[in-house]
Structure 1
Amino acid sequence: MAIWMSGLASWFNKKLIDPLLQIVKRGAEPKQLAFSTALGVTLGVFPICGVTVFLCGAAIALLGNRCHAPSVMLANFVATPIELSLMIPFLRLGEIISGGPHFPLTTDALKKVFTGQASRDVLLSIVHALLGWFVAAPFILGALYIAFLPCFKYLVHKFSSLPPSPKKPVYPQAEIKLKVRDV
């Protein structure tokens, strides 16, 4: 048992703690880290497996410097087990919102899915799960941002080796004068 626990602790440190500390030590802003992490988790719980990495990549490309790409991807990685556990709640939320039929999660329904007899029902359940996620995603993002912001403020203050980036430019724009040369 002790060997298994030490292996789990080693994996946890190597895959989660060390990358998080590297991110924090590089001097990113706590607000950017909180937003990026919340975005990564929110996209990471998207109810279709295998799509979350592409969603995170698209979000990083669209947001550019407004998000911190390593934080988004690390949060996406951490959210994978949560993704699997939230598929049913998203499905049920989508069914409630749309007023659609209840998709039965029984062994008979699973047999129909594997034999291809329930393809319309499966497609409808995927649409319901997506609807549930689309409705819940803004609330998840907002709640996680509010929860992560004080955590990242503390972590950046405690572990950052770089001074925080300045809020205002060092030289105000009024003082900057360009020299123009005639060639």
Structure 2
Amino acid sequence: MPIWKLSLMSWLHKKIADPLLQILKKGAEPRQLAFSTAVGIALGVFPIFGVTVFLCAVAIAILRERCHAPTIMLVNFVVTPLELSLVIPFLRLGESISGGAHFPLTKDALKLVATGQASSELLLAVLHALIGWFVASPFLFGTTYFVSFPCFKLLVQKFKPPASPKQSLDLDASDIKIKVRDL
């Protein structure tokens, strides 16, 4: 196996698999994990770069104990490539919903943006992408929740922490005293 594949696998294990296993082993509720995953995906694909961490932090502050903060942030991190790939579909969806002009995605578009010649068109394109995200995000949220809930039920059962010794012993103080006297 090439070294780059080994290093990629090591990175994925360290950054994604290990944190997920830690979350599962802590004994979180499957509903809370599914809800947090859905929130993380819906906010993580927000079409403006660099804003998703702030949006997730605001959601965590608002939802408090109803969500699982590490899960939201982990999912936000994992869906970053999806965020990048959904900007154009959100833009086109927003354009079709609003009936707006088609933003040209040509090789000269970035040059026009950099020189400031496409500022009003770019702002309109961002607005269209936001409209597309606003319409699509409830569907992303619902689909993610209903798909991930059964998965988390199985995973939580598989990785639930073992019962503590205090829970497995059903003895009270009087039982212990009697056994000590009998010796």
Q: Which residue of 2 aligns with 1:113?
A: 113
- Could you tell me how far 1:150 is from its partner in structure 2? 1.0
Residue in 1 that maps onto 2:6: 6
- Judge conservation of contact 1:25–1:162 (CA < 8 Å) in 2: no
Q: Scaled by the length of structure 2, what TM-score is found?
A: 0.87
Aligned-pair identity (%): 67
> Residue 108 of structure 1: CA displacement?
2.4
| Alpha-carbon offset, residue 111 of structure 1 | 1.9
In the other structure, the counterpart of 2:20 is 20
Which structure dedicates a bigger proportion of its chain to helix? 2
Give the Cα–Cα distance (whole angstroms) in 2 for the partners of residues 117 and 162 of structure 1.
62
In 1, distance between residues paired with 2:162 and 2:123? 50
Structural RMSD (CA): 1.0
* Aligned length, in residue pairs: 163
Q: Which amino acid aligns with 1:120?
A: S
Deviations 1:111-144 (A, max 9, x none): 2111101100000000000000000010000000
CA contact (8 A) 1:56 1:72 kept: yes
**What is the CA-CA distance between 1:109 and the residue it aligns to?**
2.2
- State the TM-score, normalized to the length of structure 1: 0.87
**How do 1:102-181 and structure 2 match up within 5 A?**
102-161=102-161
- The DSSP-based 3-state class of the residue aligned with 2:22 is helix
Q: Which contiguous aligned blocks of 4+ residues in structure 1 show a shift greater than 6 angstroms?
A: none
Q: Which stretch shifts more, 73-82 or 109-118?
A: 109-118
Provide the residue aligned with 1:59 in structure 2: 59
Q: What is the CA–CA distance in structure 1 between the aligned matches of 2:9 and 2:16, rounded to whole Å? A: 10
Mapped partners of 1:8, 1:134: distance in 2: 34
- Do the aligned partners of residues 30 and 99 (structure 1) sit closer, same or farther apart at CA in structure 2, a change above 3 Å counting? same
Superposition pairs of residues 54-93 of structure 1, within 5 angstroms: 54-93=54-93
Distance in 2 of aligned mates of 1:107 and 1:133: 24
1:25–1:161 CA contact under 8 A, matched in 2: yes
Q: How far, CA to CA, are the matches of 1:94 and 1:67 in structure 2? A: 29
Residues 31-76 of structure 1: CA deviation (Å, up to 9, x unaligned): 1001101110110000000000000000000001000000000000
- Provide Cα deviations, 1:129-183, integer angstroms capped at 9, x if missing partner: 00000000100000000111111011000001056xxxxxxxxxxxxxxxxxxxx
**Cα distance in 2 for residues equivalent to 1:162 and 1:42:** 33
- Note if 1:39 corresponds to 2:44: no
State the 1:2 CA deviation. 2.0
Aligned to 1:107, what secondary structure does the other structure show? Answer: coil
Structure-1 separation of matches of 2:160 and 2:70: 16
Structure 2 gap segments, 5+ residues each: 164-183
